[in-house]
């Protein structure tokens, strides 16, 4: 099964039935076999955006706990890279969650992401590769 990064937007859509991408992301994830990888800042962002419904927030955490995705641990050694990325892409702008996903891509060698944002078409890894958004928005 191919490892693929997942951003906050699709996670929010997955757990918010009123989200305009809910049906599309649900269908997409059912039709594909992915080993999903994300970071705690992404989960934090998704939880914050789902704060209108405590049950949705808990469902995200239950999904993480049951192994619905793998959490890439961002350690202190990655903070310098996160700072550099945030400065480099300040015109986009790049947020903490996106920066951690780029770091995860670099350290894990993953080059595919599921996102509803166009930002990942701009971001580049240290080897000048882009992260390919495989979610058809």
| CATH number, domain with residue 116 | 3.40.50.1010
Any residues with CB less than 8 A from the CB of 42 and at least 6 apart, and which?
Answer: 6, 7, 8, 11, 97, 100, 101
**Helix axis angle, 8-15 to 54-65, nearest 10°:** 120
- Give the model confidence (pLDDT) of 43-72 as tens digits: 999 999 999 999 999 999 999 999 999 999
Mean pLDDT score, 8-26: 97
Any residues with CB less than 8 A from the CB of 58 and at least 6 apart, and which?
Answer: none
Q: What is the pLDDT of residue 137?
A: 82
Structural domain containing residue 80: 2-133
Band (pLDDT 50/70/90 cuts) for residue 17 is very high
Element containing residue 108 per DSSP (H, E): helix 96-108
Q: How many domains does the chain have?
A: 1
Q: Is 67 left (phi over 0), alpha (psi -120 to 50) or beta?
A: left
Q: What is the pLDDT of residue 65?
A: 97
Cα–Cα distance measured from residue 134 to residue 114, given in angstroms and rounded to the nearest whole number: 6
Tokens of 107: 């350290």
Mean pLDDT score, 32-41: 96
Q: What is the pLDDT of residue 1?
A: 85
Residue 119: pLDDT above 90?
no
């Amino acid at each position: 099964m191919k490892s693929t990064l997942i951003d906050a937007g699709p996670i929010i859509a997955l757990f918010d039935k009123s989200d305009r991408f809910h049906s599309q992301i649900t269908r997409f994830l059912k039709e594909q076999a992915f080993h999903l990888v994300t970071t705690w800042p992404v989960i934090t962002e998704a939880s914050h955006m789902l704060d209108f419904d405590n049950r949705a927030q808990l469902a995200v955490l239950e999904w993480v706990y049951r192994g619905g995705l793998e959490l890439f641990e961002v350690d202190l050694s990655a903070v310098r890279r996160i700072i550099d990325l945030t400065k480099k892409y300040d015109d986009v702008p790049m947020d903490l969650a996106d920066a951690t996903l780029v770091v995860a891509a670099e350290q894990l060698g993953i080059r595919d992401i599921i996102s509803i944002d166009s930002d990942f078409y701009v971001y580049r890894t240290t080897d000048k590769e882009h992260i390919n958004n495989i979610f058809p928005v």
